[in-house]
């Protein structure tokens, strides 16, 4: 990841946005490290052929489809940056410099890349029939529910397939608690935090904000249901009975608080209050 840090740092310190060429280099580095360069391709779209960002009011900056193609909507990233969507509610707690803001713009781009790479890794887990972790099992639930039928029906039209997929998720009000989306968000925030941490104390504001974002996201969807967003998600897509039959709730009971929060499982009222106060 050091090469990625160098690219990110050189652009940011010179007040330059990551270019399409820089993003290509970053994707090549990551896919090479994951040994996926021969399995995954990517497209940095400069047109609107695959642009579904204005459909159902979802701000889509990138996509990963089941044909193993990552789509980065570079123009949409620039639009988001120009609208200052890279600013967070945590920024006011820190004295950010103009140079910090240059870094934050590229953080949005890099987080988007990390997020889609997480979806790549998720699909590899789904394909591994020998993986029996809770994470792998729930990925398979989601894949089977949302993707399998759509993949067969719309495989000849990727753009339409993506639209239908998004519509199904929204109609079921599960997009915000999708397990794949949750884990992609959490892991991309962590990846970004670890990268920023390597910059040292001169950039402590940036990695502290990233940590605040991660902590806030992890607890966010517990506000109305302490059973956890993933428990709700499994129930919503109809796999709760199967989940219980496989004895996974007993495994969850033995998890630490941090593990249950990460995966989105049940916490107590006391645990919730403790996390919210932090």
Residue 179: which H helix or E strand, with range? helix 179-197
- Mean pLDDT of the region 161-171: 54
Range(s) of the domain holding residue 221 = 2-277
Burial (CB count <10 Å: 0-12, 13-18, 19+), residue 5 = middle
pTM assigned to the model: 0.85
Into how many domains does the chain fold? 1
Least confident of 46-55, 67-76, 124-133, 162-171: 46-55
Q: What is the pLDDT of residues 213-261, one digit of tens each?
A: 999 999 988 987 899 999 999 988 889 888 888 878 888 888 999 999 9
Q: Where are the beta strands (DSSP E) in the chain?
A: 41-45, 62-65, 69-73
Given a cut of 70, whether residue 165 has pLDDT beyond it is no
């Amino acid at each position: 990841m050091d090469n990625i840090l160098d690219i990110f740092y050189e652009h940011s310190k010179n007040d330059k946005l990551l270019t399409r060429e820089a993003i290509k280099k970053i994707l090549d580095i990551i896919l090479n490290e994951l040994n996926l360069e021969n399995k995954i391709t990517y497209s940095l779209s400069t047109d609107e052929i695959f642009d579904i960002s204005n459909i159902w009011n979802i701000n889509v900056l990138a996509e990963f489809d089941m044909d193993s193609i990552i789509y980065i909507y570079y123009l949409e990233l620039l639009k988001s940056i120009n609208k200052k969507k890279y600013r967070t509610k945590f920024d006011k707690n820190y004295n950010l410099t103009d140079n910090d803001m240059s870094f934050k713009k590229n953080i949005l781009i890099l987080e988007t890349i990390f997020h889609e790479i997480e979806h790549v890794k998720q699909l590899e887990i789904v394909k591994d029939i020998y993986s029996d972790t809770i994470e792998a099992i729930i990925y398979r639930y989601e894949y089977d529910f949302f993707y399998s039928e759509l993949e067969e029906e719309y495989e000849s039209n990727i753009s339409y397939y993506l639209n239908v997929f998004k519509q199904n998720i929204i109609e079921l009000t599960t997009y915000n608690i999708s397990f794949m989306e949750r884990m992609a968000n959490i892991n991309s925030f962590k990846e970004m935090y670890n990268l920023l941490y390597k910059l040292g104390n001169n950039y402590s504001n940036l990695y502290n904000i990233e940590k605040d974002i991660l902590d806030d996201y992890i607890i966010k969807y517990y506000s109305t249901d302490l059973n956890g967003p993933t428990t709700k998600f499994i129930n919503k897509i109809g796999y709760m009975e199967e989940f219980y039959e496989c004895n996974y709730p007993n495994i969850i009971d033995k998890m630490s608080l941090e593990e249950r929060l990460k995966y989105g499982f049940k916490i107590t009222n006391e645990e919730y209050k403790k996390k919210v106060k932090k």
